[in-house]
Structure formats: structure tokens, C-alpha cells
Structure 1
Amino acid sequence: MHKKVDILLIALSSPIQIGIYEDKQLIDSISSSKKSSDVLATTFNDIFNIYDVKRFFYANGPGSFMAIKVAYIFLKSMSILKKIPLFATDAFYFNQNRPIKAIGKLCFVKINSEIKTQKLETVPESNFVLPNVLDYNEFSTISTPLYSIGAVG
């Protein structure tokens, strides 16, 4: 009998991080510097061979739009095919609400639950961390990527 787990995917930048959670506790993690499109299918195949996946969670932005699209399409497809619910939250949950680089000196910032762009003189590193405990209250069943964030350019 396989352990029943939740899977969390952070594919906003390199490295891609996958957390495996049992009873909300992080029990294993996988990290890859490869492109999402090159690693997700084989990695998730390995996960399905070892675990019984109950729920998918992922960071739906902001970050690399292409990486977010690939992650969403992959997880949404797996969600439909395997009848596994998909939940999402913004990237600020994974970086202690620090600014996230957009382009040049523009960064995404979250102020009073609203995500917008702001020019910063010093652009911080975007380090995303898998939480040790998964807080379901931080996630929504509205899992579409955050494409409606203000244009950058």
C-alpha cells in the first residue's frame, strides 16, 4: 500500500522544486535545474509509482510565465486524468512575501493582498522555499495562472 500524499510544485524559476507531504508535513523533496517541460513527466511518473497522490498544489505566479504555463497545463491535465484536485497560491507564500523580479529593476510586490509591479533600485534574489508544513488555508481551488498581473516592459 502506497503512502497517501499531497504534491506541491514550485516551477517559477530554476530550480524547480517538488515537495511531497504526508499529513501536511514535508517528507521528501525533489529539485531540478532542468526545464519544466523536460522534467515534469518523468518525475511525476516516478512519484506515482511510489505514492498515492491525494492533492496537487502549485505556485501560480508571479514568475516565469512560460514555466507557470507549463506547470499549470501539466498539473491541470494530470488533475483531470487522475481525478486529483488542484489548488494554487501565489509565489509570495514561498518567499516570505519578498519582491519577485519581473524585468530590469521592476519587481512584483504584494501589498494588502494585491500584486502589482514596482521599480526597486536593488532587485532581490527570488528564493522560493518549500514549507515544512503545508497550510491548506493559503491555497484556492481557483488554480489558473496569475496572467492578469500588470504588464511589464
Structure 2
Amino acid sequence: MHDAVVVALGTPVLVGVYENGVLVETIRSEGMGSDVLAEIFDPLCKRYSFSHFIYAKGPGSFMGIKVTYLFLKTLSIVQKVPLLATDAFFFNQNSPIKAVGKLYFVKNSSTIALEPLEAPQMNAFVLPEIIEIENFDSDNLPYYGIDAVG
């Protein structure tokens, strides 16, 4: 059995397939999650049987978070595969994540805050070479961090 990890908080969309916790396949797409997730998962679901779907639940792009959650939640229900999640900081070495304007999400211990930063050092999202299922949570609801602007 395999696990699929999805980081779709913007461009690029990253999907990793893990076997026994080791990354065996990486898909990187410059498209938007709404356009590419079905295209990516169609052949993957034909080649692999998944035991978990895992995603970065935020913070990040509102649309990226929503689309990824809805897509994976639906796939999870249809295939009867658990959906797990973690915050996006797991995939960018805990560096700031752009919010709006000069505001950035930062993680201090287990708290995520919104802070004004000037030219922060931001790391790209990457898929880890090795994962442990224990690092992911069944609390898989999206984390937006801030309310939608109305």
C-alpha cells in the first residue's frame, strides 16, 4: 500500500507517492490545483492502492486549500481511504507563508500567528523524502488563518 501527499497551496502543485514512508514518485505541476488534481490522481489511482491521503491544510491560498480539501475528501470517501493533514509549515522548513499585503503567517511552537514582516526569508514547499504517518492528524479540516475578505 502507498500514501499520497499533496501540497497545493499555490503553484506549483506537489504530489508525492510514498511506499513504507519513502518517497517513490513525485509529480510537480505548474497548473492550479483546480485544474490539475484530477489529471494527476487519475493515473495514480490506477497504478497504486492508497492507505492514506495526506495534505497541507493551510495556511496559504484560500482557493488552493478549499479545492484540495474538497477533492481529497471526496476521493477519501469514495475509496474509503483515511484523509490526514498537517499545517503547511511542515513542507517549507517552518518559514513564513505569505498572507496579504505585508502580512505573513509564522509558526511559533504550535501557534500560528499573522505578523507584518519586511522581506522575510521564505522557503519553497517541498515533499520530504521520508514521512511518518504519526506526524499527520485526522483533524483534516482546512486552516485558513484569517477570515475571507468581504
| Range of TM-score over shorter length | over 0.9
The percentage of counterpart residues that share the same residue type is 46
User: Aligned partners of 2:147, 2:45: CA distance in 1, in Å?
Assistant: 37
Q: How does 1:117-136 map to 2 (within 5 A)?
A: 117-136=114-133
Q: Which amino acid aligns with 2:7?
A: I
RMSD: 1.4
Gaps of 5+ in 1: none
Higher mean displacement: 53-62 or 116-125: 116-125
- The structural deviation recorded for 1:49 is 1.1
Q: Which amino acid aligns with 2:20?
A: D
* Alpha-carbon distance change, 65 to 126 in structure 1, aligned in 2, over 3 angstroms: farther
TM-score by structure 1 length?
0.92
Q: Name 2:56's counterpart in structure 1.
A: 59
- The structural deviation recorded for 1:112 is 2.1
Q: How does 1:16-31 map to 2 (within 5 A)?
A: 16-31=13-28
Q: Name 2:76's counterpart in structure 1.
A: 79
User: Aligned partners of 1:105, 1:126: CA distance in 2, in Å?
Assistant: 17
* Alpha-carbon distance change, 98 to 125 in structure 1, aligned in 2, over 3 angstroms: closer
- Shift >6 Å, 4+ stretches: none
TM-score by structure 2 length?
0.94
User: Aligned partners of 1:93, 1:83: CA distance in 2, in Å?
Assistant: 25
1:102 aligns with 2:102: no
User: Aligned partners of 2:29, 2:146: CA distance in 1, in Å?
Assistant: 29
